[in-house]
Structure 1
């Protein structure tokens, strides 16, 4: 137990903690977007609870994997070969996770484009348990990437665990406003689903040893999000101008009189 606190007097450990916590938050953005879209299919009174439980599952998954470092590292050992391509346990999880993410994102885009009535009926059919099960599945995929990053950056398990707890705590605070913002703006939701397709393709690439630098993905996401925010502001200004020149009419009379 004492070994858990030996890192406190090491300045390098504190630097590693701050850097790792920041990286874990950045790596968790995909997870937040996915959870936000999934819980949007639940009744409003269940959404925040689902977000908290979903992120709680992510934290537990990551901590359990951190305590299973030996097992995690064996996941990089080849299991079988397909067309001269060696596939390890990690590769298999990333490939299956990428396919799941692609399928789920395309399904959500299809529901969004089918119309409000069909989308509403699909939302009503979503059960709390089914949503949590889907969150748990994708948590495993995102947690694996996060844990491997942590193992590569820090030496003390205590530092890794604390970084994960800090990151998930920040994500829990950010998940509700992000989720509400996505729900209130359909174009942002479509953009978020497009991001998830991009992430799914990146996971497939990683699974087949075709590394796509995360910096490119996050830059594309940030640039697209910035453009969409400008579009939202322009549309809001256009609506304000319409209201200014065409005041609301109530009971057959101009509301300005």
Structure 2
């Protein structure tokens, strides 16, 4: 058994491999922020007693799916080859998956913004039928979106290292962080309604970025996360200002 595994861990003696591992772990965690925001907003629509369990099941199933995708890495890499050309751009399966995922994210974020702005219509869909989120539906949507992010992150990982063991460690580390951060982030979003609208705006921006990437217009991730960080900072200052204004009012009453 040890002789079988030994070739997969030769990189342990290579300092550059450790740098690649650290970089890839950080990259996977950062890329997981998008998915984590979506999971938080989605599961907060479930009954309180089901929310935490839905997050654990969704993220756990997403981990299994990512590990399976890594096992078929040669197929994933093959998704980058063009299958047809339109509008002067060669579309690969990866492009089509990114476009579909981006459209789903834009639709979902737009729908949630509509429900947030118009609470009277909160429990009806666009044709007037009552709707309710179930745990199964939440987990399915988590997996669908994670599939999009997983394929993109795995292709990115392939460009950084040839060691499959490094990719497995990075994916497991990132998903573990997501699992630990899911409940605190969801509770924070639930307690601060203005954060919900900001998070939905992030999802809308990420969806448009995925669509643009699918059409061959790559937007550097640094720009996206810088905009998200600045918006979060401004909202944080607004929250502090509201708390300071609320303290004198509570003392006066």
TM over 0.5: yes
Quote the offset at 1:124 in angstroms: 7.6
Cα distance in 2 for residues equivalent to 1:25 and 1:61: 17
Which residue number corresponds to residue 149 of structure 1?
Answer: 156
Cα offset, 1:78, TM superposition: 1.0
Equivalent position SS for 2:243:
helix
Select which of 235, 238, 247 maps to 2:245: 238
The list of structure 1 runs, each at least 4 consecutive aligned residues, that deviate by more than 6 angstroms after superposition, is 120-124
Q: Which stretch of structure 1 is more off in the superposition, 203-212 or 11-20?
A: 11-20
The counterpart of 2:122, out of the listed 119, 123, 131, is 119
Identify which of 29, 33, 37 aligns with 1:29.
33
The 5-angstrom pairing of residues 1-257 of structure 1 reads: 1-115=5-119, 118-119=121-122, 125-245=132-252, 247=253
**Rg larger for:** 1
Runs (5+) with no aligned partner, structure 1:
248-257
What 5-or-longer segments of structure 2 have no aligned partner?
none
Query: 1:2: how far off?
Result: 2.2
TM normalised by structure 1 equals 0.91
TM-score (norm 2): 0.92
The alignment's C-alpha RMSD in Å is 1.6
Structure 1 residue 118: deviation in Å?
A: 4.5
Q: Give the Cα separation in 2 of the matches to 1:157 and 1:67.
A: 9
